Structure 1
């Protein structure tokens, strides 16, 4: 009788990187496993659950001729087609591991959402914001739930839009960064809505906007720094002329982080970037 045995575990390169910061342990951490081609979806999901981070990624050879590498992105409970800080952190690890892009200065990541361009600008990486798969007005019933969840009057929500580019974000604009920082959310009131809140800083502040993102039902509840939301928010705010063509967003302040997201619109593309810092490197038995 023949038995189908799972491949034996082996040592694989492992890196934990802090994204959207040049200060170790002040950004958004990401676990990255390289040489992951022979791992099953179930093995990847189990390991991502074990790391207990917001996301864990796995680097694989590309299947598209234009891509430099392929990545699969997992939360503790599900796989994402795209996410922002995993894109930058994975690109950082791929380059540190000796990866050489097919095109000078730009690498192409293959993920479930398609091909994503990532450019190098000095010590910073930036990805081209992918197209929104859903945008536009938010139903009044959802806005009422969001206002209740943020514990603010409904009229405090100056505008809102769906900003779906993988995760199903709803973006909400408040009048000021101070209002964003003052939020003490009631996540249960939001139900299953993923909500990002943004408000402008005063002109003399280091950052132009303050951002907070809330994920009801998630163990972390508030995300330290969120590339996917900032990408959608940039498309929304720059497109509606609420934001200039380049700006800096601060995120993670209430969590003791110092996340900084750099946004720049160039020739029809919106680039979302920041610095990444390797904090742990070695191998993992998987």
Structure 2
């Protein structure tokens, strides 16, 4: 073990402790998968990442992303938080974009004034969910099947299942049953503001949607404060289906006392970008 440069970054917020934190070890060379997993479990955060030299042409760095118990091929808030830490530590991209190598391949990250944004990786699986899973999800969320007004596979590495409820209020009121939803990663979205035809909350609302993300945790069902991968997949589904405009802001973390803001945009080329502010809360070294 040795001391390595380290940052803990709060993502999808410009205000410390209001977003979703990620632990970033900026020098992961020489660490085994087991050591990375052990450190991740110890942090008790939803994810920890390890920056390594790239092995693919065109990449600026390689990122390995872990959550408690397993490695992930991709995750959104660790991507933005790690890029933020890499740039703060003096990293310089080779080209117009920062290019991250990870389990899903190369991911482009652009700098938009006061925030970073990643290009949403392609969905590994899309299309409607099977009816038997929808019945299970509805029961696990404690809602009627008729309350689910839209649904789709949202698998872009993490195997999310996306469902839309009638309103943001319904989303915020959820009290999921972890015994019923065991083994499922479920993302729930509810319209806010004037988007779509359901859940209007008035023209003065800055956010179009309220999002919540539920997944199996070490102690039953867990909830993620703000989820980049889920919002990326939801955007591909919602914009593609005409359920959301090509540019919007999603709110996530409200039910946990956070105030995450996820900026979504489909550009002229049809590429979807998921962005948010990041702020370093801890900087120094860590013994790994």
Please say whether Structure 1 and Structure 2 have the same fold, judged by a TM-score greater than 0.5: yes
Matched residue, 2:190: 199
Alignment map for 1:263-278 (pairs within 5 Å):
263-266=264-267, 267-278=269-280
Contact in 2 for aligned 1:30/1:86 (Cα 8 Å): yes
Alignment map for 1:133-282 (pairs within 5 Å):
133-201=124-192, 202=201, 203-219=203-219, 221-266=222-267, 267-282=269-284
Task: Quote the offset at 1:218 in angstroms.
Answer: 4.4
Indicate whether 1:28 and 2:29 are aligned.
no
Matched residue, 1:113: 104
Task: Quote the offset at 1:191 in angstroms.
Answer: 2.3
SS in 2 for 1:108: strand
CA distance in 2, matches of 1:65, 1:193: 35
CA distance in 2, matches of 1:192, 1:148: 14
Matched residue, 1:285: 287
CA distance in 2, matches of 1:124, 1:102: 19
Alignment map for 1:6-21 (pairs within 5 Å):
9-21=1-13
CA distance in 1, matches of 2:274, 2:65: 18
SS in 1 for 2:74: coil
Task: Quote the offset at 1:14 in angstroms.
Answer: 0.8
Task: Quote the offset at 1:130 in angstroms.
Answer: 0.2
RMSD (Å) for aligned C-alpha atoms: 0.9
CA distance in 2, matches of 1:23, 1:207: 17
Residues 207-229 of structure 1, C-alpha deviation per residue, up to 9 Å, x if partnerless? 11000010123447010000000
Contact in 2 for aligned 1:252/1:259 (Cα 8 Å): yes
Contact in 2 for aligned 1:180/1:198 (Cα 8 Å): yes
SS in 2 for 1:158: strand
Contact in 2 for aligned 1:192/1:217 (Cα 8 Å): no
Residues 160-206 of structure 1, C-alpha deviation per residue, up to 9 Å, x if partnerless? 11110011100001111111111111121112111000011123212
Runs of at least 5 residues in structure 1 that lack an aligned partner in the other structure: 1-8
Residues 109-138 of structure 1, C-alpha deviation per residue, up to 9 Å, x if partnerless? 000110000000111000000000011111
Matched residue, 1:79: 71
Runs (4+) of structure 1 moved beyond 2 Å?
216-220
SS in 2 for 1:216: strand
Matched residue, 1:4: none
SS in 2 for 1:91: helix
CA distance in 2, matches of 1:200, 1:129: 21
Runs of at least 5 residues in structure 2 that lack an aligned partner in the other structure: 193-200
Correspondence for 2:116 among 125, 131, 135: 125
